[in-house]
Amino acid sequence: MSAILAVRGLQKTFGSVVAARDINVAVPPLQTVGIIGANGAGKTTFVNMITGHLRPSKGTIVFCDRDITGRPSREITRLGIARSFQIPQIFQSLSVFENMCAATAIAHAAGGLPAQLLTPWRAPGSLRQAEAALELFRIARYRDTPAATLPQGVRKLLDIAMAVAGSPRLLLLDEPTSGITIEEKFELMDVVMSALKDRGITVLFVEHDMDIVARYADRVLAFYDGAVIADGSPAQALADPRIQELISGPQLKPATRSAGHA
Amino acid sequence: MAPRSIVIGMLAFLLAAAVAPALPTWLVSLATVAFANALVVLGLVILWRAGLVPFGQALYYAVGAYSVALITRYSGVRDVLAMLAAAAALSGLVGYLTGFLLARYREIFFSMLSLALSMILYGVLVKTETLGSTDGFHVDSPTYFGAAPQGGMRLLVLFWLVLACCSLSALLVSLYFRSVAGALAIPARDSEIRLEFLGVSVNRLIHLNLVIAATLAGIGGALAAIAVEHVDPDMSYWTTSGGFVFVTILAGAGSVAAAFVGSLLFELLKSIAYDVLPGTWQIFLGAVLLLTILFLPGGIGSLFMRRRRPEPAS
Ligand SMILES: Nc1ncnc2c1ncn2[C@@H]1O[C@H](COP(=O)(O)OP(=O)(O)O)[C@@H](O)[C@H]1O
Ligand SMILES: [Mg+2]
């Protein structure tokens, strides 16, 4: 089975900080990969390089047999890689529905600026798709709420729903459950995973909570200091006491897990 | 399916054209300049939606004005449509070229860069003898489809032409706002990152808006030059640009119609202030701007704009 995403010798340095060192990963289609690691381990940097937000210092990224290393993010998006953000990137001055409409309208106007000029903003097809997406992600009751006033969990879901509007083949979620309560985390992941089900999307998600990783991931990548130190099934990875120690941090400072945001 | 606001707007332009012969000359003359300038304001409304405020939009206004002035001076062309087309093309081209630079900047950097570019043109115009230097030069009257109206008819025909340009521009801009590209200006202001990750090039989008705004400003400048039968470097000066920003705040960036109402109101206020308070009219205008910002931050447009809610598919 050929990989949908293949990363070879990926490296990223910020001055003297090494945020990614020699990362080699191949992800087969339809796998759900959990990415774990302490704050500052390089998880976001990894996501940023794959999605074109950061240019790698070294190495190659191949998506569907096409080299996408260093391509601009909008081009990578059009090729079929979408993402959500640790801090949700939504349009603050629009309502939830208008946010969703923006995403579906862009998806309907495929073909760049000329198509965007000729496609109506309120085309029935994209409006219907926007309504359906709000239902699918269970945020339809916030339809007319201004995005600036949304609770964190809804912001996260809207961010993900917008990312999925373009029917990506690969979806990267950067800490989809950060900043919400433990009970809500499972709820949110249930909504997201059932919305993505049967759509043929390969998912990589960054997550701090081991229980969530164990429940939703087929495979775990453990990051430490810019390197992948473990790559295997969740059971394997989570049973390894060395990983427990490095990822979750020594048990003496449990507070950092909920307080820190990169 | 023509949305109601577009139909109402077009009827308003028709009404203005119909009553013009019955109006006093000073008012028609004032409205001619007001509506010519409203085209520049319409361009500013487009940019304002994307969060951009150019302090140097008079650059394209002057390019349009000097285009028609130079045509009447150095060529035999007098046809008004040919002159307007040339002004639109040239200002659009200048907008396209400066756009490569401007589209990469935001906020105050964008505003000041726009100002800087306009001051370069001002400097060139002031220093160039063949362009009339600081005095500028006279603009001959154009012909309208071969006819050269005289006396009172000349003003009236020009006013009708201005109304035609305004209604066509208003219609096209309304349609533009209803397209995906036009509607994305507001999202672009909120989160460029999200737009890029939806596959949109925000710089290209802003570049397009810059070209549209520059073209509108050029047509406005051309019409203003024809109306006052004169061009001079002040048309590119920063106070002219500031005036357009003033009217944009007064009008509010909410709607197309507000650009025209705001511009007309501004010219009326200016002429009233000029008559009533000859020495201190700037104080009056300053007070109006202050009151607008304090009590009507959405501008005049917010008065007659119903809160728009997205309607479901019909
Ligand atoms: N844009 C940047 N400039 C400089 N340093 C950065 C930048 N982005 C990330 N880093 C550094 O790279 C390291 C990895 O960061 P990041 O990928 O955000 O970690 P994580 O998402 O795992 O918490 C950290 O030391 C961080 O400070
Ligand atoms: Mg991170």
Q: What is the per-residue pLDDT across B46-68, written as a single tens digit (0 to 9) for each?
A: 999 999 999 999 999 999 999 99
pLDDT of residue A256: 44
pLDDT of residue A262: 41
| Reduced 3-state DSSP string for chain A | CCCCEEEEEEEEEECCEEEEEEEEEEECCCCEEEEECCCCCCHHHHHHHHCCCCCCCEEEEEECCEECCCCCHHHHHHHCEEEECCCCCCCCCCEHHHHHHHHHHHHHCCCHHHHHHHCECCCHHHHHHHHHHHHHCCCHHHCCCEHHHCCHHHHHHHHHHHHHCCCCCEEEECCCCCCCCHHHHHHHHHHHHHHHCCCCCEEEEECCCHHHHHHHCCEEEEEECCEEEEEECHHHHHHCHHHHHHHHCCCCCCCHHHHCCC
pLDDT of residue A104: 94
pLDDT of residue A249: 57
Residue B314 falls inside a structural domain: no
Residue B312 falls inside a structural domain: no
pLDDT of residue A251: 46
Q: Splitting chain A (262 residues) into consecutive groups of 10 residues, what average pLDDT does each group show?
A: 85 88 91 90 92 91 90 91 93 94 91 87 91 92 92 92 93 90 86 85 90 89 88 83 68 43 42
For residue A39 and ligand 1, the question of a CB distance below 6 A is answered with yes
Show me where the domains of chain A are located.
Answer: 87-167
pLDDT of residue B2: 60
For residue A45 and ligand 1, the question of a CB distance below 6 A is answered with yes
Cβ–Cβ gap B204/A113 under 8 Å? yes
Q: What is the ipTM of this complex?
A: 0.87
Residues of B with CB under 8 A from a CB of A: 176, 178-184, 186-187, 189-191, 193-201, 204-205, 208, 309-314
- pLDDT band for B309, please (50, 70, 90 cuts): very low
Residue B111 falls inside a structural domain: yes
Report how far residue B134's alpha carbon sits from residue B127's, in angstroms, rounded to the nearest whole number: 8
Residue B291 falls inside a structural domain: yes
- The mean of the pLDDT values for chain B is 88
Between the CA of A57 and the centroid of ligand 1 the distance, in Å, is 14
pLDDT of residue B305: 59
Which residues make up the environment of ion ligand 2, defined by Cβ < 5 Å? A 44, 262
CATH number at residue B203: 1.10.3470
Cβ–Cβ gap B191/A89 under 8 Å? yes
Between the CA of A35 and the centroid of ligand 1 the distance, in Å, is 15
Quote the number of domains for chain B. 1
* A39 φ/ψ angles, rounded to the nearest 5 degrees: -60, 135
Residue written as token pair 């230097």:
B133
Q: Which of A76, A96, A121 to mutate to test the interface with B (most CBs of B within 10 A)?
A: A121
Residue B313 falls inside a structural domain: no
Angle at A208 between CA B192 and CA A231, to 5 degrees: 100
CB B139 within 8 A of CB B68: yes
- pLDDT band for B74, please (50, 70, 90 cuts): confident
Q: What is the per-residue pLDDT across B239-268, written as a single tens digit (0 to 9) for each?
A: 999 999 989 988 887 788 889 988 998 898
Give the range of the structural domain holding residue B38, as residue numbers without chain letter.
3-19+28-307
How far, CA to CA in Å, does B41 sit from each of B66, B252, B278?
A: 19, 10, 26
Q: Which amino acid is at B61?
A: Y
A85 in reach of chain B (CB within 8 A): yes
Cβ–Cβ gap B178/A120 under 8 Å? yes
pLDDT of residue B65: 95
The pTM assigned to this predicted structure is: 0.89
pLDDT of residue A247: 67
Write the burial class of residue A77 (CB in 10 Å: 0-12 exposed, 13-18 middle, 19+ buried). Answer: buried
Q: What is the per-residue pLDDT across B141-200, written as a single tens digit (0 to 9) for each?
A: 888 887 888 878 888 999 999 999 999 999 999 999 999 999 999 999 999 999 999 999
